[in-house]
Structure 1
Amino acid sequence: MNATKVLLQGRQPMIRFLGKRTTPAKVDHTPQAHPASPTHSLPDSFASYRQKAQQHGPLNQTTKFSTGGIGGTPGASLGPVEAGKGTFFDRSELPQRFQRLAWTQSEIEAVESGGASLYA
């Protein structure tokens, strides 16, 4: 006699499903606007949607450099890029107390050996 069979004979699942498992007879697959959309309406066409859409800037811009909106203008034409007050682009621009510390030779050896050099 197997103990497993004896144990499973009185087993009852903890989850109880209500009703019979059935799929709905009719499912509505017509496009609908998302409940949280600001206009609560679908666009007329993909072309009209594309005219108003933005993804890293307007998608419908045309310039003398290219016909597309993204990458159509060189970065230099956007003007100088400067960090605002209290904003830094690189850690080396921070005050000395916040900059990265130089690694010592013992730390480098510990990392390269996986920590084994600390106990040798």
Structure 2
Amino acid sequence: MRATIALRNAARTPLIRFVGKRSVPQAVDHSPRVHPASPTGALPDSFATYRVKAQQHGPLGRAQFSGAIGGQSGASLGPVRPQTGAFFDRTDLPPRFSRLPWSEAEIEAVETGGASMFA
């Protein structure tokens, strides 16, 4: 007899056991309440007023901060160029900083997981 067939045919019983009958509360209060650790102790009037004052990596309201970051599209800002001495990509660096070509021995070592170095 195979163990997998015996295990598959056995009835599954959960390891956790609950005491008593399941009961669902009849009335649950879902009305909004102020969090106990709230600094203001009051709920916002609406989500729109909350969003105007909220900050998430900077202000979320657009009307007050039209000239700030995010107030204009990226295309309207013009081309982006690195400062003098700074580079965005490794291929822009001088040739002395370019990647060296792989030798056949290094390729062989990588393909064999290093075993060819000790053979």
Normalised-by-shorter TM-score class:
0.3 to 0.5
TM-score (norm 2): 0.46
TM-score (norm 1): 0.46
Choose between structure 1 and 2 for higher RCO, CA contacts under 8 A separated by at least 6 residues.
1
